[in-house]
Amino acid sequence: MDKVRAGAEQDQPVLGHLTRSIVLVGMMGSGKTAVGTALARMLDAPFLDSDHEIERAAQMSVAEIFARDGEPFFRARESEVLERLLSGPPGVISTGGGAFLSEANREMIARLGVSVWLKADLELLWQRVRHKNTRPLLRTADPKRTLTDLLAQRLPHYSKAQVAVEAEPGLSVPDMARKVIAHLREVDGLIEEVKDA
């Protein structure tokens, strides 16, 4: 399992401990992996990337799975992996951009964790993904139009997340992670405070 553990290695103070898993949702390019890794360090929790777990099990990339087996096959594996990760110890879980579209996934996340939408506008997303060829859904004649359409289709689903945090251009990854933690502190009982020794 891909895990990144806490603070001592990064000289990052631990800001609390999770009682349930945090599941980061949002569009490709919203910062789920980068912010999730920083959150995991700050909360002394494992960082788990559902796409990496799927790739490891299949021994091929997400793009290769899409090409060989199609999106429905990938989404079924994604749900299985998400359930396995949520059933483990509390951690920070990064999901693929389409994971939260499934009502069954949303219900599972609400039951076993807390969903956090990293909300980014179209221009910020486009700046982050336009030069990457690892996004199978953007392998189209007009990738920006495709991204625009995907964002419009997915917004109603993402808006069902338990917590929404606005991504800001120019905000560093650690600052965005601290912003997420500030929002998570409003979820009753999710973060236990660090006790002084």
Per-residue pLDDT tens digits for 95-147: 988 899 999 999 999 999 999 999 999 999 888 888 766 666 667 778 889 88
Give the count of alpha carbons within 13 A of 70, CB side only.
2
| Binding site residue list for substrate | 51, 75, 97, 154
CATH number of 7-192: 3.40.50.300
For residues 187 and 197, give the distance between their C-alpha atoms in angstroms, rounded to a whole number. Answer: 25
Boundaries of every domain in the chain: 7-192
Q: pLDDT category, 2, cuts 50, 70, 90? A: very low
Q: Which two tokens stand for residue 165?
A: 């945090």
| Binding site residue list for Mg(2+) | 33
What is the 8-class DSSP label of residue 197? Answer: -
For residues 68 and 170, give the distance between their C-alpha atoms in angstroms, rounded to a whole number. Answer: 38
| Binding site residue list for ATP | 29-34, 135
| Binding site residue list | 29-34, 51, 75, 97, 135, 154
Q: Using DSSP bridges, classify how beta strands 17-18 and 191-192 pair: parallel, antiparallel or unpaired.
A: antiparallel
Bridge partners, 165 (sequence order): 118
Cα–Cα distance list, 173 to 19, 31, 157, 168, 180 (Å): 23, 8, 25, 10, 11
User: Considering the entire predicted model, what is its pTM?
Assistant: 0.86
When mean pLDDT is compared across 78-87, 150-159, 186-195, the lowest value belongs to 186-195
Query: Contact, 99 vs 25, CB < 8 A?
Result: yes
Bridge partners, 164 (sequence order): 117
